[in-house]
Structure 1
Amino acid sequence: MSPDQPDVRVADTSAATLRRFLLVGLLATASLISAPAFANSYEAALSSARLGDTRQLVGLLNRGIDPNTVDANGNTLLILAAREGQLATVEALLRYRVRIDYRNLAGDSALMLAVLHGHAQVVEALINASATLDHEGWAPVHYAAFEGRDAILDRLLVAGVDVNARAPNQATALMLAARNGHVGVVRRLLSLPQIELNALNEAGLSADAWAAQNGNTDIAELIAAERKRRGLAAPAIRLTID
């Protein structure tokens, strides 16, 4: 190579180095921009689910936000929307193959919280989407009985819920309704041939004994009368003394 001829290899190497430098700079800049953008999208998705801003949430989902995004308490977008009774948002999320039976850190699913807060239309949508009715621990039927949700209980019964399922404290739906004075739910449950009248909770109390203990004597009498009608003996109450 002539001393006066430029070294093309050096020039090519310098150009490649410059391109790499520019590329690294662009990537670094993009990451700085995308991090807060992602954080903003995350917060916007959670807020949209809670407030029922379906249009904004669908837009975020279509741009790549995970439909199973959870907040600090383990609430998915579906759980948040169901808890707040946001029917349109729940229906939109169900089209994205969300984890319908996911349970938050407290053990509550979308269906459980919809039942707890009395959102009958959301309950209907979730049941139609095949949400699980029966599982270990607290279940939708317990919340319906505890809160006296007559119409929702009827829907759960139509769906085939286990009315004798035990809560962690060994209470059944009948016990919870009796304890809280929900006479309508108690009457509905007593009309079921499969309802257990002599089950005992962890404190050793039957449904009528628990009702009487909480001043719901009318309910205690209803349960005792149904037991007599069926020809059953009253259970031996098992009291636990600490």
Structure 2
Amino acid sequence: MTAPQIQFSPEQIIALFIEAARSGDLDLLSQFLTAGMTIDAADSRGYTALIVAAYNGHEEAVRLLLEGGAAPDFVDLKGATALSGVAFKGFISIARLLLEHGATIDHANQAGRTPLMFAIMFGREDMARCLIEHGASPDTRDADGISVREMADKQGLSALFSDTTH
């Protein structure tokens, strides 16, 4: 007697792929990709495996996905990229990896907030320094007209820009 075939919907398959990224399961991610999984497949919130792996701090999964061709600037339904997520979480090595693979440093989400803004808003001073070193603009303004410098002043991080001109 043969075992019954289990059928999964495309949404369920994407959910399993993204769950593998959430847990940093390199073997399972590799199996999905070998089987032909679309690397930038997104769930109902617009999250891709890369966004989820980055947000959850799985550097090797991020590397695997980027080297497999994942788009570093894919955006979720709120307009955020993987770099936005790691900026507020403070995962500097993953931010560097994303930037090495072409992530846009000043990509703004739907609220006009850039990765540097997230780093500053969440007090991630080392991340902010990293982003500034890679060319993030301190003069960008969000949708409310608040600049990066103003956010830094409110967070007590204005010294980040002591070497740059207004």
Q: Which interval holds the TM-score relative to the shorter structure?
A: 0.7 to 0.9
2:34 to 42, 50, 62: 62
Partner residue in 1 for 2:131: 156
Point out where structure 2 has 5 or more consecutive residues left out of the alignment.
none
TM (norm. structure 1) is 0.62
Mapped pair 1:84 → 2:56: yes
Structure holding more helix per residue: 1
Q: Deviations over 1:65-118 (max 9, x none)?
A: 110011110011110111111111000000111121011011110000010111
AA matched with 1:52 = G
How many pairs align? 160
Pairing partner for 1:110 from 82, 89, 92: 82
Larger relative CO (CA 8 A, sep 6+): 1 or 2?
A: 2
* Contact kept? 2:17, 2:29, Cα under 8 Å: yes
| Amino acid in structure 2 at the alignment position of 1:88 | E
Matched to 2:116, the amino acid is V
Structure 1 alignment gaps of length 5 or more: 1-31, 196-242
Alignment partner, residue 235 of structure 1:
none
1:49 paired to 2:21: yes
Cα distance per residue 1:189-210 (max 9 Å; x no partner): 2x13323xxxxxxxxxxxxxxx
Query: 2:142 maps to which residue?
Result: 167
Name the Cα RMSD after superposition: 1.9
Q: Offset at 1:126?
A: 0.6
**Secondary structure of 2:8's match?**
helix
Which of 87, 93, 103 aligns to 1:131? It is: 103
1:193 matched residue in structure 2? 164
Deviations 1:152-195 (A, max 9, x none): 1111111111111111111111211222x3x2x22122x13323
Deviations 1:10-55 (A, max 9, x none): xxxxxxxxxxxxxxxxxxxxxx947427565433211111111111
Could you say what secondary structure the match of 1:89 adopts? helix
Per-residue deviation, residues 114-164 of structure 1 (Å, max 9, x unmatched): 101111111111111120012342111111111121111111111111111
